[in-house]
Structure 1
Amino acid sequence: MNEFPQALTLAGTDSGGGAGVMADLKTMQMRHVFATAVVVAVTAQNTRGVQDFMALPPKLIDEQCASLADDLKILACKTGMLADAEHVHCVAENLKRYDFGPLTVDPVMIAKGGAALLADDAITTVRDELVPLATVVTPNLPEAQRLTGLTIIDADGMVRAGQALQALGAQNVIIKGGHGADPQMANDYVRLADGTAFWLAAPRTDTVRTHGTGDTLSACITAELAKGVDVAAAIQTAKAYVTGTIRDTIQVGHGHGPLNHWAPLSREVTVHDA
């Protein structure tokens, strides 16, 4: 009883279906893990942008967490959009209260269309209360800069940021290079808890249909961890999955379109020692 791999996302919804809780649930389902969710905020959102959002009362977040802990066997979890400092703190306290397995922190700050999804004063709370709990933290370049205070303009900057995030308490780090300057390749830097490091590289696809990439990557890592896969392999699988979802595009909406969560893993991802 209750032994099938189960994973949890604590995040905001996306009414357009491409990101947030919706992307997380689709990704976990595709990776053959039973997906659950604690909804932290609700957005009015489509491929053109975020029109509005509202965070749920912290009491309801507490009750959602307690309900899951009382019945299910969550083996890994992730965070996404957490709205503001109060809700970051609320989620962090629940993650300390309950054993939901290894934690992947996706420090969501800005939506693909440019809307702020995390209040400025909450960045410090993410850094001080959530990152130290992380088994894996998955910032993109702008998020890594905000969390570490470093300016990242090249590979050396990504390495320094990875070291800085570990110094803040994260065990393992993947710094996503989608915002990097290389026009041909998306290069991610991975630094593991044992001090080893490597690069993951994948060819870029010329498309605006990349809404939900960060959510999908972190959800895939979470699903793999729930199945007992080691961190390095989980990150590599997630990179291959996201690359496939971008490459095998689907036509939905008029703006930053969603990923194709039905896509198979890409075989184009390469691993290089750091």
Structure 2
Amino acid sequence: MAIHYDYSYFHYHEHEAARQFSDQLMPRNSDYQSENRNADQAQADWGLDLLLLRLVQKGVLEKNPRHADTLVKFWEDFRRDYPETELSLEEIVKKGWIRVVWNRWYIPQDFIHSRHSDVTDDELFLFLKKLSYVPYPDERKLCLRSVKAELKTHRRRYPDLPDLDWFLKKEIFIQKGKKLFLNCSNSLVQNYSSTLLAKLWEERIAGPRTGLDRLNWWRDYFDCFHTGWDFMKNLNFQAKEDFLDAAVEVLLGEKDIVGWHDEALKVSILQN
């Protein structure tokens, strides 16, 4: 039986939260969606948003290179290069140099600015430097499947739908060898991102059906679109409730969801 949470607490403290966290509550730039008449026309004439949704649902997203499971593999590779090291992965994590939050590992963002240092004898620095070059989750590609078949099927309802060459010319699709990828940075795709993300959550014909597994799956797509922060306005009531329930479950269960400042305080307390 699904657990549903009472959100009246958040509504009651809404004004206080707005006062304390006004910066965080300010709409992001991506919420201010500029007019895109080409996207509106493509939606009206060809149902482009519906086509993209079906393609995304049938597509395959590359694996997350910074998933928590990859951290052990990176450490094992590092140990082969530095077999005499006295460091342990557990110690590095415990001291706050690496954080594992919601199935992903993170290193201090400031480290990116110092990784070009000539340091060669500090093993911790060298390991973090190795990790700093691992691609971020939002750099993954979405490989499309059965594109020609989907175009043919969609054209039955929308006869004026352009052919594949148009999608390639407009860089909505990117071709590499025999594979086609969705260009999530394309202005037409970004225009539909909030709708696509909402439908990805609502329609359970793709991905895990319930709970945290579905939220974890959906989050990967959220990363890749780079926009669509206002997707919740497009969710129906039940889908919104399910999303909030899953999100609250993450917040209640994740022990390491605070920021780097809090991590530093924890390390300080442990050392003292």
Fold shared by both chains (TM-score > 0.5): no
TM-score tier after normalising by the smaller chain length = under 0.3
Structure with higher Rg: it is: 2
Which gives a bigger RCO, structure 1 or 2 (Cα 8 Å, sep 6+)? 2
Structure with greater proportional strand content: 1
TM-score (norm 2): 0.24
Structure with greater proportional helix content: 2
